[in-house]
A and B are shown apart, each in its own frame.
Chain A
Amino acid sequence: GAVVSQHPSWVICKSGTSVKIECRSLDFQATTMFWYRQFPKQSLMLMATSNEGSKATYEQGVEKDKFLINHASLTLSTLTVTSAHPEDSSFYICSTDRGYGYTFGSGTRLTVV
């Protein structure tokens, strides 16, 4: 089946620093990647949609200058959390549609201290 590899699995960073999260599609070309955020005990909320070779589309309330998304190739999409603050601590997960269902990365647990 389709595999999306997400790294890192977890990261702890200092407030004010930036963190990059990568999602790679290992056995197919992902023209679109979806990025979600999940706070504890809550459901997944779509943050943005990245499209290969074009600008990402952000959901209402998500700061595009804070959450930088790059989808430079058909196999790699990245999310960079810039100038991280403790309130950015969350579980971030990427996903793509294979046409017969969505498949997800393993997620990244970000803790900002």
Chain B
Amino acid sequence: GIQVEQSPPDLILQEGANSTLRCNFSDSVNNLQWFHQNPWGQLINLFYIPSGTKQNGRLSATTVATERYSLLYISSSQTTDSGVYFCAVVGNQFYFGTGTSLTVIP
């Protein structure tokens, strides 16, 4: 199967700081999504981004499919951004990455 590695595994930010999360994948994919899992476990879809760049408020994402990576940018972080961020790719099934646990402190 496709290996999906995320970095960093853990991240602590001061409120207002910016951050970049990275997702590397081992093979060509048909789709890539970024999710935020809140403390209750719910997965919130952030971006459907097989290639290119998208922005949604303080979040933006870029996928470079030919180089097999994607980046998630969080600007002006808020405490509500805390949680685990997953990228997931579609090969012959949906493969989840290892996750980045983000804690934003006031």
Contacts and interface: CB of A to CB of B under 8 A. Distances in A.
- Whether A and B are associated in the same complex: the answer reads yes
Given A43-B86, A101-B33, A102-B88, A107 B41 contact: yes
Interface string B79-106: 0000000101000011011110000000
Contact of A101 (B31, B40, B99): B31
A93 to B, nearest CB: 7
A91 B42 CA distance: 10
A104 interface: yes
Contacts of B73: none
B45 A102 contact: yes
A82 interface: no
Interface string A99-113: 011111011010000
Contacts, number: 42
A44 B96 CA distance: 6
A46 interface: yes
Nearest to A106: B42
A101 B43 contact: no
A38 B84 CA distance: 13
Contacts of B96: 36, 43-45
A46 B24 CA distance: 19
Given A101-B31, A107-B42, A34 B48 contact: no
Interface in A59-113: 91, 93, 95, 97, 100-104, 106-107, 109
Interface of A: 34, 36, 38, 43-46, 49, 91, 93, 95, 97, 100-104, 106-107, 109
Q: Which 8 A-B pairs have the closest CB atoms?
A: A101-B48, A104-B43, A107-B41, A44-B96, A43-B96, A106-B42, A43-B99, A91-B41
